[in-house]
Amino acid sequence: MRLTQTLLSAALALALSGAAVAAITPEEAKKLGTTLTAVGAEKAGNKDGTIPEYTGGLTTAPAGFKAGDGIRPNPFANEKPRLVIDAKNLAQHADKLTEGTKALLQKYPSFRVDVYPTHRSVAFPKFVADNTLKTATLAKTNNDGRSIEGAHAGFPFPIPKTGYEAMWNHLVRYNGQAYEVKYRNLNVDAAGRTTLATEGVNVQEYPFWDASKSSAETYWRIKNTYTGPARRAGEALLIVDPLDIGTKDRRAWTYLPGQRRVKVAPDLSHDTPNPGTAGGNTFDDIFIFIGSMDRFDFKLVGKKEMIVPYNAYTAVYQAKQDDLLKPNHLNPDLVRWELHRVWVVEATLREGKRHVYSKRTFYLDEDSWAALASDQYDARGQLYRAGFAYMAPSYDLPAPYTDMFGHYDLVAGIYSLTGFAAETGGM
């Protein structure tokens, strides 16, 4: 009896630690493509019909789209909000809003949330579905959840059992195999002034999704070549993240034209202030979260219906900078919100580890696995920053796209927007 209890305790500890354990059983995998979508979302809509059934996503480009163009027209441009939330009716909808959204509604009378009809527009190429099913019972986490193995060109954990598994789905999320964008990172100070933090050309590659190969060591790499502002023109940045980030760690380099040399940059991670936003967020705030999970314990809270930015084509592709960035917050007229089911993951700072955040809550879209929002708390446990990613699926590929994102500093009263490309050719 004692031996059995010891073995059960050891097995439980192993599972909770995120050690090497297969994600799901063959029986569980049978749900994929039946009651669940190919990547693990619930196919069915919700009870009151405000979240529809998943029927394959949006794979047909609307009228006006030009093949090969980086600007994608809004396929839902003629729709009107079904609900408008402001400070006056906040209490009625509080259970479906992130803490950051509620804080913005309470802090700024001009902030509001326009909730549109929900469209489950995310779609994937067939190989994503095929490989997700193929590796669903083989994928494992190692190094206390910080590394993965056994998966390639498919979502590793379509039915996650731990917070680490859910976050890995976000880290390797499908954006296509590569893309290039000429972008701007913009900051708005407490007085409402907009400043260009950086401008440049961003190239991202996802070797994990190269279906022509059977495996990959790297899941993501990014190269930024800065063209502005003038003081940063000519600088460059390269980051490479391996699947075995738990033991190999991130590799990063910077090029400074004044020194005419490339330097290894090991500090471009975790809570190092992000120079791309002039310190408006941390390096691991990029894309809501990026990098190693060694500083926090990640707990899978469960799934919840939440109102999040979604199908935000107007903000991502059609907006003018001066129209979108207003004092205190983005222009509510240009930001579309919808009700979707999200996975909630809580990250709590580990004992003995250092970070400017003591706790973080992430909201991962069930259809794409992309993190759409986050709440970040300071060392006192008070809400410090709120992050949002602006989902605008690339229906021409098809692939989700959430790489325009921003963070609100609720203490300093400032905010940043990263990856704005509507006036520079799109993605």
Q: Coil, helix or strand for 61?
A: coil
Distance, CA of 402 to CA of 394 (rounded, Å):
10
> For position 4, what pLDDT does the model report?
38
> For position 18, what pLDDT does the model report?
43
Helical (H) or strand (E) element with 134 = helix 126-135
> For position 275, what pLDDT does the model report?
81
pLDDT over 90 for what percent of the chain? 91
- pLDDT above 50 for 380: yes
Q: How many CB atoms lie within 10 A of CB 229?
A: 12
Distance, CA of 349 to CA of 378 (rounded, Å):
11
Contact 170, 369 (CB under 8 A): yes
> For position 21, what pLDDT does the model report?
56
pLDDT over 70 for what percent of the chain? 95
For residue 23, what pLDDT band results from cuts at 50, 70 and 90? low
Mean pLDDT of 255-275: 91
> For position 22, what pLDDT does the model report?
55
Per-residue pLDDT of 82-138, as tens digits, reads 999 999 999 999 999 999 999 999 999 999 999 999 999 999 999 999 999 999 999
Short-list 59, 55, 80, CA closest to 393: 59
> For position 357, what pLDDT does the model report?
98
Cβ-Cβ contacts under 8 Å for 123 (sequence gap 6 or more): 56, 57, 58, 59, 393, 395, 398, 399
- pLDDT above 60 for 301: yes
> For position 17, what pLDDT does the model report?
43
- pLDDT above 60 for 261: yes
Q: How far is CA 177 from CA 24, 146, 209, 218, in A?
A: 26, 23, 6, 12
Kindly state the greatest CA–CA separation across the chain.
71
**Long-range contacts of the stretch 267-271 (C-beta < 8 A, 24+):** 268/237, 268/239, 270/295, 270/355, 271/295, 271/354, 271/355, 271/356, 271/357
For residue 267, what pLDDT band results from cuts at 50, 70 and 90? confident
Q: What does pLDDT average to over the chain?
A: 93
Distance, CA of 216 to CA of 220 (rounded, Å):
10
Per-residue pLDDT of 164-221, as tens digits, reads 999 999 999 999 999 999 999 999 999 999 999 999 999 999 999 999 999 999 999 9
Per-residue pLDDT of 308-319, as tens digits, reads 999 999 999 999
Mean pLDDT of 53-64: 96
Per-residue pLDDT of 403-426, as tens digits, reads 999 999 999 999 999 999 999 999
Distance, CA of 211 to CA of 131 (rounded, Å):
9
Tokens standing for 419? 């990856």
Mean pLDDT of 373-392: 98
Q: Coil, helix or strand for 321?
A: helix
